[in-house]
Amino acid sequence: MKKIILITASVLAMSCSSNAHEAGSDATHHAQIGTIHASGTGHAAQAPDQASVSAGVVTEGATAGEAMRKNATLMTSTFAALKKAGIAEKNIQTSQMSLQPRYDYQNRQKPRITGYEVRNTVSAKSEDLEKVGPMLDALVEAGVNNINGVTFSIKDSKSAQDKARIDAIKAAQTKAEGMAKAAGVKLGKIMEIRESSSGHQPPQPMMMRAMADSAESTPIAAGEQTLSVTVNLTYVIDQ
């Protein structure tokens, strides 16, 4: 029985040794494969088709209740003004609400509460850029005293991203071909493709202004947004 066990163990050891040798050989082979890495960036411009406005009301009062009541009155008018300007209710959202005491610091004495301040901010989105100017005017007329900014965005940027991606791949391919030619080698198949994209535009701040008697609404220019796509290609060097 002992002899059989020893023979079996010997055969298994030889088999494992053979497999390990083959695995090591494969690993060495893959490690010796030469590669070329190249990146390219493509750009595409597209006009925004929607905008978001962030605006709010700041009120003060001798008591917390007084400050809240003043704020509630103005915010009720603000919501009504947005709806009157054609903004759908689903596109109106409260984004921030805070109540804080105001302190008086004198002669290194213990701070004394002198009143309260309430800040209430609302975000409104419009898919009709023609409504943005009138919406800003309506907000100011309703009592809004803080406009944080207007953010323009693109609802569907797929076509622009596709164009930028194609240009990025072409640029990466051209760069890889140039590198291979300079090195005196030939490009093989592509081993790996990686992509990263960007196209964010920060909010555009709006300056508060006194409402004029003119019927003209606040002019708004959306401009264009540029979307960028970067592609990284890894080629095998053809042996």
Given this model, what pLDDT does residue 43 score? 96
Given this model, what pLDDT does residue 109 score? 83
Given this model, what pLDDT does residue 217 score? 72
- Ordered strands of the 146-153 beta sheet: 92-104, 112-126, 50-61, 146-153
- Amino acid in position 130: E
Query: Are 55 and 139 within 8 A, CB to CB?
Result: yes
Query: Are 47 and 222 within 8 A, CB to CB?
Result: yes
Given this model, what pLDDT does residue 199 score? 66
Q: For residue range 88-113, list pLDDT tens digits in order.
A: 999 999 999 999 999 998 877 888 89
Query: Are 187 and 38 within 8 A, CB to CB?
Result: no
Assign domain 50-153 to its CATH architecture. 2-Layer Sandwich (3.30)
Q: Which residues of the chain have pLDDT under 50?
A: 1-31, 202-214
- Amino acid in position 73: T
Given this model, what pLDDT does residue 32 score? 58
Strand, coil or helix: 138: helix
- Statement: 31-49+156-208+222-239 belongs to CATH 3.40.640.10: no
* Pairing assessment for the beta strands 186-198 and 112-126 based on DSSP bridges: unpaired
Q: Domain boundaries in the chain?
A: 31-49+156-208+222-239, 50-153
